[in-house]
Structure 1
């Protein structure tokens, strides 16, 4: 096994030594081309394209020591070639595009003495050419935020336009910059750098229109004013530090009563909010409560207290810029109205008791009415009374009625006494 490995390694080393003198067909597939370009470019500007011959897949294969063994071949039509240079195992060309579009450029490498042989390596690139100015709008701030395109309000922003003109095609041009910051502010400058301060949070789009003018000598030896324009934009998300939390809610509540507390955040969302009830107003520690993501500047907390006492809402909120704490004290009193699970049996018992009292009252009233309307007891009862009461039983009805009248003063007298006067 070891002998086979050493044999294969020896073959590779022998091939690498003979490669500079080998035909192009043997080297095919062992190398590749790395292409670089400074495009995109505006029409009339020069574009540079470079191709370098390197070992494929970054292998340990040695490059040929004699650079004259290989030759680079380019196809760039309809771009106009303005220059070409070769150095070692690399080649560079300079081309100009006079019309806008995407133009393919290809290159391949063959043996120097056999350009019809199989290529050692091939390369391909597309050059974008535009009739407008080429550049970037860059926004920077002293305070960097972890989110892309996010910046602080009330902090100066530096907005710069960087022209892409590696061939110095526009070195004699005069530029004019028209700025629109998306919040109603517009300005025109001759400088490609401005400083601006946003006072409110939100998402804004900075728009820039660039105009370049220069003089150019025409083929008839006359001078003319040339002009190129370009429109650029950048989206900005302005955020504010979290200055505090405004808590709106009751400070006194009864048990078994649903309570809602509104939190107003004085800062920029999105936020991470965490809260917990404590007997005292103390800051929350990390991992003490479950965080909740809030996408607006307001959030509602709901809770129902079952036990009376003094409580404190401990609240922590943070955004990508800062964090803050807030507290809200509340007293919970025993509820006067018990829950329905206890109120229903009590109400049923009270209803039964009231019905029983009303029944007894009506029954007593009916018995008293019968006694008044029927003062003479039945004959059987009277005989019984005569036998039981003996001498206490009255013989005449008048005497009985007189006793009834004296005992029941509310009944009117059945007769009036008549007094006799002697003249």
Structure 2
């Protein structure tokens, strides 16, 4: 919903500059389309932060908001930009179309607010069309960035490869060329014990070990400046900068240590040695053939070292292949390990059946022997006189222990053991 700008008191009395009231009314009427603050805004840009003494540029542009369907007026001379920048010193101001630019200098460090608003060109007391606000940081130190690059493009921030040249550059931020006559000296510390001093803002360095390192840089700038008393003095500014680097090694491969032949129901352990930098994400799966793993085909496991053990028990014989995939923050690699599984000599699944069979056979044998002995004793009772051939064999094999009759056996025992009583008493005959 649009709202019109009411005619202010200043316009009712006399417009600034001594213009008649009719002129101010016409300006206010022409400004009516811009009278809704929610439809327009100011875009502010600055080239800050800056060091003390350097010039800073701040620009403001009047634009319609994204959801606004209003078009900006063609006559830009109807509007004026009003700035508040104290205590920054104004060194220049330009206006072009619906934008305004100022140049300021800060002589003390701090964070300084700068505000701007837009009104009718000849009615500074009228309601603002749009407002803008920005905070400008001023520091007594040098302003710049430490940039680290490498020929290898990595998708992870602050991650770089070992044994690959790094380019470390210092980019000075001085858009006003305040330090164009200065001489710079750079002191580098790469965090691994290496230090150097150069006059160039770009160095090349190669890390040979993995780890996280912090590159520190101290910059000193010196230049001559004419003082108010016409004498020359040497001015100096310094700045400290740093950048954190994470040096990694690419995964050059996976070394697999484990058996290639195993039996079913036997626990197998395979050791994976990763030729690269942890932490890693490891994923593996058993396949009939050695094929690469697809995304989502197996569950990844986080590994914080360069070694990992896989354990598995095969239940079915056959030919298998371990498909292994590992990756760190820099690269990924695949590896395969073939293994043949043979049937076990003793299968746990059928172990109970042989045991039951063995026990049954033993019981049958015992019963057979018992029945056989009983049958032999019965035959001996019914047939006291064994066949001659059998008796002869028994005599030859068993010796004196098997005699023809029990009486003979008892007689022999009595003769060998004199202490035994006689087997029978003599019968005396008495005649009457």
| Same fold by TM-score greater than 0.5 | yes
DSSP 3-state at the match of 1:170:
coil
In terms of mean alpha carbon deviation, does 66-75 or 266-275 score higher? 266-275
- 2:28–2:120 contact (8 Å) kept in structure 1: no
- 1:159–1:193 contact (8 Å) kept in structure 2: yes
Aligned length: 411
Residue equivalent to 1:345: 354
Report the TM-score when normalising by structure 2: 0.72
Whole-Å separation in 2 of the counterparts to 1:258 and 1:388: 57
Are the structure 2 counterparts of residues 387 and 251 from structure 1 closer, same or farther at C-alpha, using a change threshold of 3 Å?
closer
Are the structure 2 counterparts of residues 24 and 279 from structure 1 closer, same or farther at C-alpha, using a change threshold of 3 Å?
closer
- TM-fit CA distance, 1:98: 1.3
1:117 aligned to which of 118, 122, 126: 126
Are the structure 2 counterparts of residues 91 and 399 from structure 1 closer, same or farther at C-alpha, using a change threshold of 3 Å?
closer
- 2:59–2:100 contact (8 Å) kept in structure 1: yes
Are the structure 2 counterparts of residues 362 and 388 from structure 1 closer, same or farther at C-alpha, using a change threshold of 3 Å?
closer
In terms of mean alpha carbon deviation, does 207-216 or 218-227 score higher? 218-227
Stretches of structure 2 that go unaligned for 5 or more consecutive residues are 1-21
Q: RMSD in angstroms over aligned alpha carbons? A: 8.5
Report the TM-score when normalising by structure 1: 0.74
Whole-Å separation in 2 of the counterparts to 1:367 and 1:411: 31
Are the structure 2 counterparts of residues 394 and 171 from structure 1 closer, same or farther at C-alpha, using a change threshold of 3 Å?
closer
Are residue 269 (structure 1) and residue 281 (structure 2) matched?
no
- TM-fit CA distance, 1:262: 1.4
Whole-Å separation in 1 of the counterparts to 2:168 and 2:277: 22
DSSP 3-state at the match of 1:352:
helix
- 2:24–2:123 contact (8 Å) kept in structure 1: no
- 1:33–1:51 contact (8 Å) kept in structure 2: yes
Stretches of structure 1 that go unaligned for 5 or more consecutive residues are 1-9
- 2:322–2:336 contact (8 Å) kept in structure 1: yes
- 1:247–1:263 contact (8 Å) kept in structure 2: yes
Are the structure 2 counterparts of residues 389 and 332 from structure 1 closer, same or farther at C-alpha, using a change threshold of 3 Å?
closer
In terms of mean alpha carbon deviation, does 86-95 or 119-128 score higher? 86-95
- 2:253–2:334 contact (8 Å) kept in structure 1: yes
- TM-fit CA distance, 1:342: 4.5
Are residue 23 (structure 1) and residue 23 (structure 2) matched?
no
DSSP 3-state at the match of 1:57:
coil
- TM-fit CA distance, 1:215: 1.4
In terms of mean alpha carbon deviation, does 364-373 or 278-287 score higher? 364-373
> Residue by residue, what CA displacement relative to the aligned partner does 1:120-162 show, whole Å, maximum 9, x if unpaired?
2111110011111111111112221111222222222111110
- TM-fit CA distance, 1:308: 3.9
Whole-Å separation in 2 of the counterparts to 1:55 and 1:352: 102
- 1:24–1:119 contact (8 Å) kept in structure 2: no
Whole-Å separation in 2 of the counterparts to 1:161 and 1:345: 82
- 1:52–1:91 contact (8 Å) kept in structure 2: yes
Are residue 12 (structure 1) and residue 24 (structure 2) matched?
yes
- 1:24–1:110 contact (8 Å) kept in structure 2: no
- 1:16–1:62 contact (8 Å) kept in structure 2: no
- TM-fit CA distance, 1:420: 27
- TM-fit CA distance, 1:347: 10
Whole-Å separation in 1 of the counterparts to 2:183 and 2:143: 15
> Residue by residue, what CA displacement relative to the aligned partner does 1:365-409 show, whole Å, maximum 9, x if unpaired?
999999999999999999999999999999999966325569999
Are the structure 2 counterparts of residues 344 and 129 from structure 1 closer, same or farther at C-alpha, using a change threshold of 3 Å?
farther
In terms of mean alpha carbon deviation, does 263-272 or 172-181 score higher? 263-272
- TM-fit CA distance, 1:340: 9.8
Whole-Å separation in 2 of the counterparts to 1:389 and 1:281: 73
Whole-Å separation in 2 of the counterparts to 1:332 and 1:134: 68
